[in-house]
A and B are shown apart, each in its own frame.
Chain A
Amino acid sequence: MRRLIAFLALFCAFAAYAQTPTLTDDVLGHLAKHSQVRAEFTQSRENPALAEPQLSHGDLLFVIGHGMVWHTRDPFDDTLVFTSGDTSRLNAQGKLERVRDGNRGVSQVSGMLQSLLAGKSGDAMRQFTISAEGTPAHWSLHFVPRQSRVAKVLAGITLKGDDFLQSIEVNLASGERTFITFANTRDAASLTLVEAKVLGIP
């Protein structure tokens, strides 16, 4: 669920729509100009039960209106494809396998994504109080759950960035913290055949 909420927040950020305040509009509007983005990511997870943070690296492709390919290279190789309504894994044979677990949440998120892309931020606004600080060149957006049920689990999400999204921080009420930083973010000029296929782009 947390994964999904954060995911949602990411989409919010990319989806170029918000009502208040103005800085949020600016930032989202800016991000939405990049309809296909590639980046390298580093994800760090801290949990009281873990001796030290878990680190993973990889690269991602994000296409507005279609979904995201999340390719972890280290410490293992795994490619997840998030499209509307589904999470799939790209197996060694280059075939997509549906990931059943957590499917329900992903389908909810994809529903929200669809409505956001249709110009309706209602879903995100119902779920989060969004505040912004900084300037369009150097900003941070804070998402605090409005729903007490969610707030019991999720403390908050913070997005930071400039022209592109630079980091996502997800804090759980349990003390777990996930911090994802992006580097080498750039517009993806063209997609590979496999990428286009798994994201359903003709």
Chain B
Amino acid sequence: MKSLSTTQRAGLFAFASLVVCLLCAWLLFGRGTSPLQTDVLTLLPATERHPLAEDAVERLARASGDRMVLLVHHTNDDTAKDAAREFGATLGKDPVFASVIAELPPFDLDQLVTPFLPFRFHLLTPEDRAALTTPGFDPVDALKRRLNQPFGANVGAKLTDDPFGWMQHWLDRQPWNRSALVPEDDLLTAHRDDGSYVLVIATLKGSSYDDVVQRQALATLERAESAMLAKHPGATLLRTGAIFYAASARAAAEHDTHVVGIASSVGIAILLLLVFRSLRPLLIAFVSTALGVIGAIATTVLVFGQLHLLTLVFGAALLGEAVDYSIQYLCARANAGTTWNAERGVRQVRPALLLALATSLLGYSLLAVVPFPFLRQMAVFAIAGMAVACASVFWLLPALAQKPARAPLSPALVRLALGWQRVASGRRALLGVAVLCVVAIPGWLRLGHDDDIHLLISPPKALETQTATIRDVAGFGGGSQFWLVEGANTEEVLQREEALTDRLQTWVADGKLGGWTGISAMLPSARRQATNIAALTPLFSPRERMSCWLGQAGFRAQGGAGFVAAWPGRAFTLDDWLAMPAYTPFRYLWMGGGEHGVGSIVVPQGQDDANLLRAAADGLPGVSLVDKPASITALFGRYRGYADIWLGGALALVGLAFVWRYGARSAWRVLLPPAAGIVLSVAALGYLGEPLTLFHVMALMLVLGVGANYAVFLREGEPHVAHLPGAAYAGVLLSAVTALLSFGLLALSTMPALRHFGLTLLLGIGFTALLAPVSVPAPKNRTA
């Protein structure tokens, strides 16, 4: 390596950079599907002790995943129906939708009933089973009562197929009968005081999270909506579905990326131009930073297989830190004047940059060990970006900055830096810090905390309102609370679920629960089916008795023959359940064949008190309540608690590094600015009334990393610019302002977590940069 010249090394680095750029371009655009991820769920940490529970959370969230659920509303019934029909037809023309259902397909009752005939004796409602096993059950009386019901018998199975109505009762309980929507004029409708609602369901050909699918489907929807509104004034469209949540998250993240990315780039560019008064340093700084970002993107996609848009938002803010390394190098160049030698410059800044890089990496790697995908991706992104940006200073920049700088650092900045440095160093400054820390105490005492999941997920209110209305009108539930039933095999899961649902049944009767949806209402366990058969067996042994009873109740001899001959049929199995088209929408309730074992989901309706729901699972083996929002909130709180300890640990580690470099007697001075910055930012948050969240504490770790850099830059840089008082601190201020520009802009983010991050960094970096002069002796003393 030693034999390589500056240009050879730079050539190699440029070649490697080109390869990484190409790799990055291929990863982003060359593979058909975009690795950009907009699904917020993928960022949430795994909170459940069992991977099956995590699977279940995901399944439930995706149950209506690739569908748009739309309700067309109008005060006039006919208009609502016409509008929905035309609207459905318009959507249906676009190939981005696999299917659009507004008008129902021709309906054949037989198709719904006939598949159940072979299983009818195995499937009984709890009430029928109880009636059959009651001593003194009189079959003739039961038949008579059914035949003489007011206003007629059942619709569904033929009277001769189901004389007692057992099958009819069973079918009535099936979940598709629970929707609040009624078929009318071949449309699914609901009538409210404020008019009619008509359901339109559009299934996407592809994933809700696929960029191309998302854009095309939303564009078509918007066109169809405006066409509908133009033709039917007064019509409104309510919408819900993962795609809308994904699109709003994407729009918010893109907005943030643009604001933070563009604003900070422009701001940094102007700043660099003002300070270096030449175009070349600006270009050099941008090449270094851009390489850092590209390296970060490529590494993140390679490690995680995807890049979340929110990471990109954070990455845009990271520009401000990555640019620090080149700024230090460029400052050294400007300060050296005509004596500049590119290689010597590298040697001069190397210790400072390496120490700064080490402290940054330390801060970020602490983020990476948190089992939390969002923070982990941010950390990997930052580590890769920092490392590449720093490496570019060592290997690429010397070739680009061979010639001495045309102009020294802006004298105004240097004067300003020196002025403040005089104020903020020496004994007086230490006293000032002590006073500030005392002032900080009330702020600390005022500090609250907040661990709500809405820090990470905050969908627009309008969308939440529409989702709630649709849930209300159409009865589509879908909460984030459910019971998970686990077992060794299908039968055990079903039996365990029945233990739960038997209990829930009494709760429904007591009004403690509105209802529930679970597979055991469709597919009873083999044991329960055997119980059903056992309850019926006495009636069919011998079969002639049943024929006789049917005759006594009034059936023709041939009328009941088919029914008697069909006994006992066969058991309904999981395969039968899976094969039945009517059950397709409910398959998400069953978790079989996955890598995490067998299980099922039971979704409660009309009750969201987690304690009550949890009590339903008490004492039932293999049954537990999964409440993802509550789990996340608990997790945030727990991590926030740990974070203090980590922060203390990180401070100790950085302190040790400083002791190693500067000796025990000076290390505390270098550590003082970041430590005081942290104390003061937390106090400021308290005074601002901001409750402390996990994200504030995470940001404090970065404050430590970045703040330590400033102290190091100042401490390391000062001896090299003895001829130019204030120049080293000017470089630090420049770094700080670029960081403030980019991280500070995060405070404008639409996502609360990033906003908190940004605000904390804004405060922390601000305080640290202002306190940095404490780390070196006062300039006055030194020059004297």
Using a CB–CB cutoff of 8 Å, the interface residues on chain A facing chain B are: 1-4, 6-7, 10, 43, 45, 47, 49-52, 54-56, 70, 72, 75-76, 78, 80, 98, 100-104, 108, 115, 122-123, 126-127, 146-149, 152-153, 168, 170, 172, 174, 176, 178, 180
Contact = CB atoms under 8 A, between A and B. Distances in A.
A149 B125 contact: no
B159 interface: yes
28 contacts: A2-B154, A2-B155, A6-B152, A45-B148, A45-B153, A47-B153, A47-B159, A49-B556, A49-B560, A50-B159, A51-B551, A52-B554, A54-B144, A54-B147, A75-B144, A75-B148, A76-B144, A101-B169, A101-B172, A103-B172, A115-B191, A146-B185, A149-B186, A153-B155, A170-B152, A172-B152, A174-B158, A180-B151
Given A75-B144, A115-B191, A123-B191, A45 B150 contact: no
A149 B144 CA distance: 29
Given A52-B554, A178-B151, A178-B152, A147 B168 contact: no
Given A3-B149, A147-B183, A152-B109, 19 more contacts: A1-B155, A2-B152, A3-B150, A49-B555, A54-B148, A56-B148, A76-B141, A76-B145, A101-B165, A101-B169, A108-B182, A122-B77, A122-B191, A126-B185, A127-B184, A152-B107, A170-B152, A178-B152, A180-B151
B184 A126 contact: yes
B178 interface: yes
A51 B555 contact: yes
A50 B555 contact: yes
Interface of B: 77, 107, 109, 125, 127, 141, 144-145, 147-156, 158-160, 165, 168-169, 172, 177-178, 182-186, 191, 509, 551, 554-556, 559-560
A6 B339 CA distance: 103
Nearest to A127: B184
Contact of B159 (A49, A115, A122, A170): A49
Nearest to B145: A76
Contacts of A54: 144, 147-148, 554
Contacts of B509: 98
Given A49-B559, A51-B556, A153-B109, A101 B125 contact: yes
Nearest to B127: A100
A115 B190 CA distance: 13
B153 A176 contact: yes
Which of A51, A52, A127 counts the most chain B CB atoms within 10 A? A51
Closest 10 CB pairs of A and B: A3-B151, A49-B559, A56-B148, A1-B155, A6-B151, A101-B169, A2-B152, A54-B147, A49-B160, A3-B152
A50 B159 CA distance: 9
Given A147-B185, A174-B158, A4 B555 contact: no
Given A2-B153, A6-B151, A70-B150, A50 B559 contact: yes
Contacts of B158: 49, 174
Contacts of B560: 49
A72 B155 contact: no
A116 to B, nearest CB: 12
A72 B165 CA distance: 19
A43 B150 contact: yes
B148 A72 contact: yes
A50 B191 contact: no
Contacts of B149: 3
Nearest to B190: A111
A10 B152 CA distance: 13
Given A52-B554, A101-B169, A148 B152 contact: no
Contacts of B155: 1-2, 153, 172
A146 B184 CA distance: 9
Given A50-B556, A101-B125, A176 B159 contact: yes
Which of B154, B165, B182, B509 counts the most chain A CB atoms within 10 A? B182
A12 to B, nearest CB: 13
A168 B151 CA distance: 9
A148 B186 contact: yes
A146 B141 CA distance: 37
A80 B151 contact: no
A127 B191 CA distance: 13
A75 B144 CA distance: 8
B194 to A, nearest CB: 12
A72 B77 contact: no
Given A122-B77, A149-B183, A51 B554 contact: yes
B152 A45 contact: yes
A143 B159 CA distance: 24
A187 B559 CA distance: 42
Nearest to A56: B148
A100 B170 CA distance: 11
Nearest to B142: A76
Contacts of B182: 108
A113 to B, nearest CB: 13
Contacts of B168: 101
A128 to B, nearest CB: 12
A146 B177 CA distance: 21
Contacts of B125: 100-101
A122 B160 CA distance: 36
Which of A1, A47, A174 counts the most chain B CB atoms within 10 A? A47
A80 B109 CA distance: 28
Given A54-B554, A101-B172, A43 B186 contact: no
Contacts of A76: 141, 144-145, 148
